Amino acid sequence: MTIADLSSMLFDRVRDLSALCTRVGELSDEGIPFVLLAGGTDWMVEQEMREPLASDVFPTVIDVSQMGELRGIRLDGDILRIGAATRYLEMRRHPAVLERAPLLERMARDVGAIQIQARGTLGGNIATGSPAADGVAALAAFDALVVVKSRRGERHIPLSELQTGYKTSTRAPDEIIVAIEIYLPSRNATWFWRKVGTRKAQAISKVALAAIAEVQGGQVVRCGLGMASVAPVTALLPRTRELFLSTRLDAIDDFMIDKCVESDIQPITDVRSTGPYRLHVAKAVVREFARSLGAA
Amino acid sequence: MLIRFRLNGETREIDVAPMRRLLDVLRLDLRLTGTKEGCGEGECGSCTVLLDGDAVNACMVVIGQCDGREITSVEGLGSEKHLAPIQRAFVTDGGAQCGICTPGVLVAAESLLRRNAAPSDEQIREALAGNLCRCTGYERIVESVRVAAVERATLARSKTSNGSPASQRGTKSGAPQ
């Protein structure tokens, strides 16, 4: 237990996003480790569990939990923009999320208990980079864009291009996650969320599937899939997605789904589950999603 | 670092290391030991307090993040002489046994009842899903929250009709017939 380290860490706050970009840039230039702290639902646990640090590698902690430019939810036409430090509980209460992106509300309900929802954020979920992240799986289903900002300017990273491996990404260390932008599916799109864990509340996923689909005349015309805890990154299931987009629903059967899922993921056995069980559940939840669309 | 916040309705200003946990500052510096440490990693809910009205785990909040915020710990729900409805219901309806989880459960339940005056059993269970209890089997906890909801409603009605708070005593007797 190393929470004793905490009291020796520097705690910093900056006035706005522009000042944050400058500060983070300077710390990067100087090679000083830093942490942007929002809800702390992952980071504080890591502090509790890790080995003690040498004092020269204590990170500077910059509190971003109250920074206005990183917070809030805005609906602009069919684009939903969620500030990176917006809490899950705020998402669950927001009319635009409830009306246009109910998948996010459903995911947020399962991400952890109410105490976790009151602190956790999508920005934190992305930054932590765990392949078990429920929030990232949901964002993958929407083909979300991650808005990042640094001294060099702002850019949008498609979620499919963000993760490169276990907890590694194409985001530069000085690029701050500012917001998530979602091009919303049509109002009659089907959405699906299934989280399988040890228990209903507070569990880290053994497998979770987030999915959306727009169907026109028996054919899927937009499809997004995000699966947690079955690969080193959030699994996008590209072959399964291609199956949905290329085949009429009445011609899709369980055998075809199973083959695609098997070629998309090779889940491992770890502390939470086994590889074979995860593959079994992954196929089952994709089949359930397909049935919800009207597949054979 | 000088940190100023509202705690149980009073303005407090303390000079502490800003990265210390809210849980430790409450217990060690402010001697408010009602908030308990269980797991220390956001799993058990025994350190639940309200931060700007929302239930949070005090083991995962650093005190620097509380600057300018409003905190309610279990001590802020009622007093020894005048327990809050949720506290009275736990006494009369067996919501507490060994007691280690009780402060966190009370605070989480209070947070629920402030937003939802008449929660269903499912809503009560969802709101308390982040609070582990190893004694009660949860049935008596859910029952206690149900009883508290009824008493709060009765108190609110009598305040409206009389212009003054109702008696601070009794729980089940206050239920509408």
pLDDT for A94 equals 98
Check if the beta carbon of residue B151 is closer than 8 Å to that of residue B175.
Answer: yes
Flag if B62 and A40 touch (Cβ within 8 Å).
Answer: yes
C-alpha distances (whole Å) from B18 to each of A4, A187, B8 are 13, 46, 20
Q: Can you say how many angstroms the Cα of residue A7 is from the centroid of all Cα atoms in its chain?
A: 30
Contacts of A109 in chain B (CB under 8 A): 126
Flag if B21 and A115 touch (Cβ within 8 Å).
Answer: no
Could you please state the CATH topology (level 3) that the domain comprising A68-183 is classified under. 3.30.465
Check if the beta carbon of residue A23 is closer than 8 Å to that of residue A12.
Answer: yes
C-alpha distances (whole Å) from B119 to each of A92, B109, B111, B128, B172 are 17, 10, 12, 12, 17
Q: Which of B41, B65, B129 sits opposite A113 (nearest CB)?
A: B129
**A161-165, A253-257, B19-23, B163-167: segment of lowest average pLDDT:** B163-167
Flag if A39 and B64 touch (Cβ within 8 Å).
Answer: no
pLDDT band at A2 (very low <50, low <70, confident <90, very high): low
The answer for residues whose C-beta is within 8 angstroms of residue A28's C-beta and 6 or more apart is A34, A173, A174
Stretch B29-34: mean pLDDT: 97
Could you please state the CATH topology (level 3) that the domain comprising B85-174 is classified under. DNA polymerase; domain 1 (1.10.150)
pLDDT for A227 equals 98
B114 φ, ψ (degrees, to nearest 5)? -70, -25
Q: Mean pLDDT across chain A, nearest whole number?
A: 95
**CATH code of domain B2-74:** 3.10.20.30
Element holding B87 (H helix, E strand): helix B85-92
Contacts of B40 in chain A (CB under 8 A): 1, 3, 48
Reported ipTM: the value is 0.93
Q: Mean pLDDT across chain B, nearest whole number?
A: 92
- A122-150 tens-digit pLDDT: 999 999 999 999 999 999 999 999 999 99
Contacts of B116 in chain A (CB under 8 A): none
Contacts of B131 in chain A (CB under 8 A): 113
| CA–CA–CA angle B14, B18, B21 (5° rounding) | 95
Q: Residue A268 has what DSSP assignment?
A: P
pLDDT band at B163 (very low <50, low <70, confident <90, very high): low
Task: Please tell me the distance from the alpha carbon of residue A275 to that of residue A267, in angstroms, as a whole number.
Answer: 5
B73 φ, ψ (degrees, to nearest 5)? -105, 175
pLDDT for A50 equals 82
List residues bridging with A222 in a β-sheet. Answer: A214
- 3 state SS of A118: coil
Contacts of B48 in chain A (CB under 8 A): 115
Q: Which two tokens stand for residue A188?
A: 């009659």
Widest CA span in chain A:
63
C-alpha distances (whole Å) from A26 to each of A31, A66, A168, A174 are 9, 22, 22, 9
| Interface check A37 vs B, CB under 8 A | yes
Q: Where in chain B is the domain with CATH 1.10.150.120?
A: 85-174
Contacts of A44 in chain B (CB under 8 A): 21, 41-42, 59-60, 62
Domain A190-293 architecture:
2-Layer Sandwich (3.30)
Quick one: closest CA in B to A38, which residue? B65
- A261-287 tens-digit pLDDT: 999 999 999 999 999 999 999 999 999
Same fold yes or no, A68-183 and A190-293: no
Q: Where in chain B is the domain with CATH 3.10.20.30?
A: 2-74
Check if the beta carbon of residue A38 is closer than 8 Å to that of residue A90.
Answer: no
B9 φ, ψ (degrees, to nearest 5)? 90, -5
Is the confidence at residue A151, as pLDDT, over 50?
yes
Query: Domain spans of chain A?
Result: 3-63, 68-183, 190-293
Stretch A46-67: mean pLDDT: 88
Task: Please tell me the distance from the alpha carbon of residue B145 to that of residue B85, in angstroms, as a whole number.
Answer: 9
| Interface check A53 vs B, CB under 8 A | no
- A177-220 tens-digit pLDDT: 999 999 999 999 999 999 999 887 788 999 999 999 999 999 99
Interface of B with A (CB under 8 A): 1, 17-21, 40-43, 45, 48, 51, 54-57, 59-62, 64-65, 68, 108, 111, 126-127, 129-131
